[in-house]
Amino acid sequence: MARPVKEINAGSMADIAFLLLIFFLMVTTMDVEAGLQRRLPPMPDENQKQDDVQINRRNILVVRLNDYDRLFAGGEMMDVSQLKDKAKEFLANPANDINLPEREDKVIEGFGNFAVSKGVISLQNTRGTSYKAYIEVQNELVKAINEIRDDFAMLNFGRKYAALDEDRQRIVRDAVPQNISEAEPKDTGSNKR
């Protein structure tokens, strides 16, 4: 005759679970992998003669950060908070100002003709610039481009860039390219590290 099986005491289950929990708390980290993603330009071939690509002056916005984290954009000194508007004005050029970058008609697959801005933002820094200031500036530039992309997406698709599907995001990316050039390092008279 089968005896009724005695119930197993589950009182120590909590202890075991706590043990596992504490183990995982110790050996794992919780940092999020996030940041500003960039593509570096490939190294120019040494054998090849360096033919400087002539870019029209009006198509470049030089953003310079010096040793003391002072910011110069387009020749004038400004605060980081002003940079976004400056970059937006430069890239969007709504009034077709002759001092702002020209636009080039390009055929975008799936969208048609669009006058894409030829503007390039050239970011230059010295060895003494602090990383914090550099990232702050990069962030402002990305923010400017993201806002232009959002405007473009709103105008054409009625939605923000992030809410679009893959294909339309590509169209927006083609129409508003992220042309930030991180210039070759220049040693402008500083040996501070």
Partner 1 sequence: MAKFSKSGKKSVPAMSTASLPDIVFMILFFFMVSTSMRQTDRLVTVKVPEATEIAKLERKDLAAYIYVGTPIPSRQSQFGTDARIQLNDSFKTVADIRDFIAAERETKSESDRQFMTVSIKADENVRMGIVTDIKQELRRTSALRIMYNARRADTQGN
94 near partner 1, rule: CB under 8 A: no
Joined tokens for residue 178 = 């992220």
136 near partner 1, rule: CB under 8 A: yes
The C-alpha atoms of residue 110 and residue 93 are separated, in whole angstroms, by 24
4 near partner 1, rule: CB under 8 A: no
Interface mask toward partner 1 for 110-129; x: CB under 8 A: ---------------xxxxx
Among 4, 6, 9, 11, binds partner 1 (CB under 8 A): 11
- Total number of residues that touch partner 1 (CB under 8 A): 48
Rounded to 5 degrees, what are φ and ψ at 84? Answer: -60, -45
Question: Which residue, chain included where needed, has tokens 């029209």?
Answer: 56
163 near partner 1, rule: CB under 8 A: no
The C-alpha atoms of residue 153 and residue 164 are separated, in whole angstroms, by 8
Among 2, 3, 24, 165, binds partner 1 (CB under 8 A): 24
Order of strands, sheet of 76-78, starting from the edge strand that comes earlier in the sequence = 76-78, 71-73, 60-65, 120-125, 180-182
Joined tokens for residue 147 = 């806002």
Cβ of residue 11: shortest distance to partner 1, in angstroms?
7
Between 59 and 66, name the residue whose CB sits nearer to partner 1. 66
18 near partner 1, rule: CB under 8 A: yes
The C-alpha atoms of residue 27 and residue 20 are separated, in whole angstroms, by 11
Single-letter amino acid, residue 34: A
Contact positions vs partner 1 (CB under 8 A):
10-11, 13-14, 16-18, 20-21, 24-25, 27-30, 32-43, 65, 125-132, 134-136, 138-139, 142-143, 146, 182, 185, 192-193
